[in-house]
Amino acid sequence: MKPYSKWSKIASSAIFVNFLFANVTAQTTEITTSDAEKMYSTISMRRTSVHDPSVIYEESSRQYYIFGSHMAVAKTTDMQNWDWVGVPWAVESENGLVTVDSYTAFTSNRVKEIIKNGEKVPFGNFDASAWNCGSDPSWINGNMWAPDIIYNPEMGKWCQYLSLNGIKWNSSIVLLTADNIEGPYVYEGPVIYTGFINDTDEAISFRKTDMEIVLGPQSSLPERYNQGEQWWEVWPHAIDPTVFYDEEGKLWMAYGSWFGGIYILELDKTTGLRDYDVTYESNYDSRKGAVTSDAYFGKKIAGGCGASGEGPYIQYIGEYYYLFVTNGEFAPDGGYEMRIFRSKNPDGPYKDLNNIDAIYSKWAYNYGTGDTRGSKLIGAYNNFGFQSVGECSQGHNSAIIGPDGNTYLVYHTKFNDGTFGHQVRVHQMFMNRNGWPVVAPFEYNGETVNEKNIESETVVNKNEVPGVYNVILHRYGMDHRNFEESTPVQITLSEDGTIAGAMTGKWSIRSGTSYITVTLNNSAYEGVIVEQQMEPTTIKAICFTGCNSAGVHLWGYKPEEKSALAYSVNNLELPFKNNARITSHLDLYGVNVMENVKMEWSSDKPEIISNTGIYNPTGMTSYEGVTLTLKLSAGDYFWTKDYSVIAREEMTYAGDYLTGINALYEFDQQPVLNAFNVSQEAQLKKQGTNSVPVLEKDSARVGKVLHQYFGASGNTSYTQIVNPLRNNALDGMTVSMWVKRNDAIVWDAIWSFYNSTKNCRLYMTGNSYIGFNNGKGDWFDINHPGAVISDNIPVGQWTLVTLTVSRKNGVKLYINGNAVSKLEYAGSASDFDYNLILDFIQECPSFYLGYGSFWGSADVCIDDVMIYNRELDRTDVSALNKMCNRVTDFVGKNEITGITDVKADQAGEGDGAIYDLKGRRVTNPENGIYIINGKKHLIK
């Protein structure tokens, strides 16, 4: 809610309105509310939760299947709506009878001999259940991980390569086959084993594996494998297979996971098992990170040295084999993210955009805030399109080129909503003109544009491109442990090819194609521009996706104008009810509308309620009806509606909260302007890799608030404001604002007056730590975190924080209108010359939010910054607080009455009564009891 009732100096605000709407063009077609209801619809998808989804297309049924861990299987015809499938395991008796049996499915393999050196060699029996599970075969049911499915035409079988996970790296990948894609699947034999970590544990002896078929007879476990509990430092883990045919028809299997790296082997197309005639070099030595090939495990293609990495998937697209690997841990705070490399050869070497090899030569923290190797396809993000819950931990993907020519990315994701559930997502992928995959911003919804269109035609007319776009960067270095998400900022693409807004730059489309180059802050993102549908609606949007040379991916969208207007009309949330009684400002421009929808309010009595919603009852002695007209427009379309309100007569307070205010920043829309001087615009900025502050909704406030992000070591998120007190003759000054801390860090700046050239500053942090230093030896600290931890500004709740400085009275701090009686001073506070502070403020060029302390920027939300050219005294601050809380006092916390738990004398003087949002008079006949429309309500 807006925290004050009136600011008489800007009652008309005509110049402000003219500034905002100088560029609004005349619309030609009016749509009605009834029209708007018919212009789009909502849709729903049948979601599915398949862990580690591997996708395959089954031609005869024209269906896509995804197979995942723990026997999870789903199918679809449209990549949007999924149906669950039960795919069983089975055993085959000696007479060929196949019987479904999950518990003994892996005890006896069907293949009994293989070919090596042109001769048949006994294969023996390999009890995969015993290797992985010991004596309890039922244990295997919870440890069947990440299968990959492929049809083998030489075998005439569907081949399922399945990981059976053991507790000490004693895992195996086995092959199962079926005549039908939905099974039942019969165990053919093992493909690879891992975890024979010593020569003493009989349960996981190498002699129970196929090692001696590969290496020949061994008198003991080869020393290079005798790693004990440190197996993971050197060797791969036999999980997460990906099987594919290369362009020459060879069959390959890549596999592996934390921490020994990703390896690849050739398979025998006639059996589907390992090709025992293909040999690999062994290059193990005491430098464990130097292993890149091994006679048993095959050739390393990625990872290793203890670095994270799992779920490899290889797909040939265009001219390259693309290796997808997911780094991090599959948890909302695990930093899970897809990285991509490519190679001309199926077995590598795989390199990223900067020609860095996918293989690690030493350990690296390679997710979250760590290593940036590999192009990062998607990161945690929120508030994109109609998204209401943050999506995070995207990965363990597969990819496929469908019969429609579209390339699809299929992955599982988790959510930043406190749960640990997961779901499957499908996005279309395109190749940019540099040959790197970029991911469509929205989920696939039947779009038909693919590589053929992108390369040969402009699928979006160039004259439709200009407009306001919401964009997010899937950047490296995100603080996943604190659930950091990328959130959209707005930029404007202009017809002349320039870009303005939260980021600046230029854009261009390559002639005759749909390849777009978007250059933001001097970084070029090469991608494509297409039209998509914004789930969960039928609203179309112009979208672009691209990546820069560092591997950072960019998404942007602009909704179709007519649909965006219709959506905005249908989802209006006004700050007042029709015919409501008005006793305070109306946050008219805090109404949420979609991108490219312009909003314009007008009042028939702007001297009482202005065109921007400023309430000015000065001189009123009764009630006055006011008509407010709202016009929404987009492109050639507009919608308009009149609303009636009743302005109540002026209510007075002891104290003066109006005189001397030089700046008011409401943060309800961009540009963010000083309501008392619209030539002064707040600049939302960042340093280093941090995020630019954003304007966002908060359920406890009307309109939007400013959200600034934590930052340190030169990576700050801040807002720069022209100091409205510069060159003022000051005897005192006041800074007041609403603050909600999002973390408990005590050092970082909420606000400051800061002159970097003179290294002089006055600042406040979340600890209500107030520091001054003029770089000349004059300084003081109040509430220094090294001496006292203060809860004056609590974490997680909105607080009105007011600081005054005067030459006579020094520094005073007020919290929610009440003076803080005890301030802990350090330095020369007792005899400090406060003239130094005011003299500095008179010269200081800038006022900052989130910048100017000696540390960094606080993760904090801020609303309604007010700066005065005088010291507000105790009575003034109390009056300011009452006006700030007037609207808040009438927010519907009580589910029946819509009235907050406050006493009548806290809500204001005047006639001594309280009115709820609907203008109903509230009486207080007895202590703690309020009566509304004849019903009693207890006030706690």
Which tens digit of pLDDT belongs to each residue from 780-801? 999 999 899 999 999 999 999 9
Q: What distance, in Å, lies between the first and last C-alpha atoms of the chain?
A: 22
How does pLDDT run across 227-255, given as a tens digit for each residue? 888 898 899 999 999 999 999 999 999 99
* Structure token digits, residue 761: 């500053």
Q: Which two tokens stand for residue 105?
A: 């499915």
Q: Worst-scoring range by mean pLDDT, 25-34, 226-235, 454-463, 746-755?
A: 25-34
Bridge partner list, 505: 499, 520
Distance separating alpha carbons of residues 906 and 885, to the nearest angstrom: 9
d(Cα 892, Cα 911) in Å, to the nearest integer?
22
Percent of the residues in the chain that have a pLDDT greater than 90, as a whole number: 65
pLDDT at residue 9 tops 60: no
**Which pLDDT belongs to residue 722?**
96
**Prior bond to 466 cis, omega within 30?**
no
Residue showing tokens 């063009």: 25
Confidence grade of residue 482 (pLDDT, cut at 50, 70, 90): confident
> Per-residue pLDDT averaged across 296-321, rounded?
95
Q: What is the Rg, in whole angstroms, of the alpha carbon atoms belonging to the chain?
A: 33
Has residue 595 got a pLDDT over 50? yes
Least confident of 360-364, 409-413, 759-763: 360-364
Tokens of 144: 């069947």
How many Å separate Cα 673 from the centre of its chain? Answer: 28
The yes-or-no verdict on residue 836 having pLDDT over 80 is: yes
Q: Which helix (H) or strand (E) holds 473?
A: strand 467-474
Residue length, the chain? 940
| Two tokens, residue 736 | 């007041």
C-alpha span between 351 and 364 (Å, rounded): 17
Contacts of 822 (CB under 8 A, 6+ apart): none
Please report, for the chain, how many H helices and E strands are present, in that order.
Answer: 10, 59
For all residues of the chain together, what is the average pLDDT?
Answer: 87
CA 278 – CA 266 distance, rounded (Å): 7
Q: What share of the chain in percent tops pLDDT 70?
A: 88
**pLDDT for the residue numbered 314:** 98
Residue 393 has pLDDT above 80, yes or no: yes
Contact 866, 664 (CB under 8 A): yes
Q: Which residues pair with 357 in a beta bridge?
A: 351
Measuring CA to CA, how many Å separate 636 from each of 19, 152, 561, 601?
21, 56, 8, 18
Q: What span, in angstroms and rounded, lies between the C-alpha atoms of 394 and 399?
A: 14
User: Max Cα separation, the chain?
Assistant: 107
* Least confident interval from 88-97, 474-483, 678-687: 88-97
The pLDDT confidence band at residue 615, using thresholds 50, 70 and 90, is confident
Average pLDDT for residues 749-775, to the nearest whole number? 94
CA-angle at 645, arms to 640 and 649, nearest 5°? 150
Instruction: Please report which confidence band the pLDDT of residue 139 belongs to, taking 50, 70 and 90 as the band edges.
Output: low
pLDDT greater than 70 at residue 539: yes
Phi and psi dihedrals of 373, rounded to 5?
-70, 135
Task: Give the torsion through C-alpha atoms of 375, 380, 384, 388, to 10 deg.
Answer: 160
pLDDT of 720 over the 50 cut: yes
β-bridge pairing 732-741 and 860-868: antiparallel
Phi/psi at 79 (5° precision) = 65, 20
Q: What one-letter code names the amino acid at 374? A: G
Residue 911 has pLDDT above 70, yes or no: no
Q: Under a CB-based contact definition with an 8 Å cutoff, are residues 20 and 670 in contact?
A: no
Q: How confident is the model at residue 680 (pLDDT cuts 50, 70, 90)?
A: very high
Q: Which range has the worst mean pLDDT, 33-37, 256-260, 417-421, 856-860? A: 417-421
Asked if pLDDT for residue 921 goes beyond 60, the answer is no
pLDDT of res. 61:
95
Residue 812 backbone dihedrals phi, psi, to 5 degrees: -135, 145
Decide: 410 and 399 in contact? Cβ < 8 Å.
yes
Q: How far apart are alpha carbons 849 and 709 in whole angstroms?
A: 11
697 falls in which pLDDT band (50, 70, 90)? confident
The token duo for 873 is 């005294």
Lowest mean pLDDT among 86-90, 116-120, 618-622: 618-622
Q: Are 412 and 53 in contact (CB under 8 A)?
A: yes
Among the ranges given (552-561, 831-840, 896-905), the one the predictor scored with the smallest mean pLDDT: 896-905
Give the model's confidence band at 365: pLDDT under 50 very low, under 70 low, under 90 confident, else very high. Answer: confident
User: What is the residue type of 185?
Assistant: Y
Quote the pLDDT of residue 474: 96
Respond yes or no on whether the N-terminal peptide bond of residue 488 is cis (omega within 30° of 0): no
Rounded to an integer, the average pLDDT of 574-589 is: 86
For residue 403, what is the DSSP state? T
Bigger pLDDT: 13 vs 913 = 913
